[in-house]
Structure 1
Amino acid sequence: MFINRELHQKGWTKTAIAEETGFDRKQLVSKYINKDQVLQSKCKVKESKLDAFKPYELQRIQEGTTKCIVLFEEIQAMGYEERTTILGQFVKPYLVQKNKPQ
């Protein structure tokens, strides 16, 4: 991923750019924004072990199932061999949306 002054001009904060790229906000991001140079991310996108099961999980969440233990048992039967932590992190934003007052 390449970033430069354009992201900053689009409204991205230095903190957001730093989090996206993995660079230090105060030093590198500011330096590259001010000099209009291209900054290449040092972050490598790591594939989650849950990725193969996400389409199924999203379908189940849309159907109204948000209990992690139920979802965990279902994907475990499908071959998921990890713990519930990743699943809980994946489901959490959907719980917040569901419980938001309208």
Structure 2
Amino acid sequence: MAPFLGEAGVLVMGSHTYEWLLRQEDVLHSAELWQAWFGTRPVFVFTSRQLPAPHGADVRFCNGSVADHLSALEQAAGEKTIWVQGGGGDLAGP
């Protein structure tokens, strides 16, 4: 995973994937795990709800479609790639 994540400048996920990550390892109470997994990369979470974020994590909550936020994603990624995970296929779909 490390080489793959090294190419990613920003991560995008749906709320269910994000909540699964929080629950699976109790990341809200072990923020160092978030840093170990994602480093300082911004993570955009698409949700219509208010969700907690691990202390010190650059989590940006978005509502709407990926297209609505594409310029912010591209700016956050810089010269690196945008990694889309989760979202039940809705995030990467048309």
**TM-score, normalization by structure 2:** 0.31
- The higher-RCO structure (CA 8 Å, 6+ apart) is 2
Q: Which has the higher helix share?
A: 1
TM-score normalised over the length of structure 1: 0.29
